[in-house]
């Protein structure tokens, strides 16, 4: 299954930019830019390609950030952990139910 090119979250449409090269912080694997309305996903870190599961997990992590943000949920310092938990849970559920078959994205 390919990543979508766009995703609508609440009233906002975000472009999914993959692969994205983070020039300021090469350790980032994903980011939501609410100004540019982009969800940015890296394909590799230090020359090592991410597998499809990692890319999907990052995609769902970034979606969780924006969904919670639009809902007005402020998790403070727990935000990253909660977004990881949501991403892992949603991705595992989709894989376990056959709704997503990971493949290495283009
Ligand atoms: Zn995060």
- Residue 104: the pLDDT is 57
Rounded CA-CA distance 91/97 in Å is 10
Expressed in angstroms and rounded, the spacing between residue 83 Cα and the centre of ligand 1 is 6
- Residue 46: the pLDDT is 85
Q: Do the domain assignments include residue 1?
A: no
Expressed in angstroms and rounded, the spacing between residue 31 Cα and the centre of ligand 1 is 7
Expressed in angstroms and rounded, the spacing between residue 62 Cα and the centre of ligand 1 is 6
Does position 105 have pLDDT exceeding 70, yes or no? no
Q: Do the domain assignments include residue 101?
A: no
Expressed in angstroms and rounded, the spacing between residue 65 Cα and the centre of ligand 1 is 7
- Residue 83: the pLDDT is 97
Q: Note the pLDDT tens digit of each residue in 72-95.
A: 999 999 999 999 999 999 999 999
Q: For residue 19, what is the domain's CATH number?
A: 1.10.10
Q: Note the pLDDT tens digit of each residue in 7-66.
A: 999 899 999 999 999 988 778 999 999 999 999 999 998 889 999 999 999 999 999 999
Expressed in angstroms and rounded, the spacing between residue 61 Cα and the centre of ligand 1 is 6
DSSP codes, 5-71: SEEEETTEEEEEE-S---SS-TT--EEEETTTTEEEE-SEETTEEPPHHHHHHHHHHHHHHHHHHHT
- Residue range(s) defining the domain that contains residue 18: 6-96
Q: Do the domain assignments include residue 22?
A: yes
Domain count, the chain: 1
């Amino acid at each position: 299954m390919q990543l979508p090119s766009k995703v609508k979250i609440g009233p906002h449409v975000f472009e999914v930019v993959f692969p994205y090269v983070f020039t300021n912080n090469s350790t980032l694997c994903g980011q939501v830019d609410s100004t540019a309305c982009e969800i940015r996903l890296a394909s590799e870190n230090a020359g090592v390609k991410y597998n499809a599961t990692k890319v999907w997990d990052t995609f769902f992590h970034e979606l969780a950030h924006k969904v919670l943000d639009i809902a007005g949920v402020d998790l403070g310092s727990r935000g990253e952990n909660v977004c990881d938990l949501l991403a892992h849970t949603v991705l595992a559920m989709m894989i376990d139910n056959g709704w997503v078959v990971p493949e290495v994205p283009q």
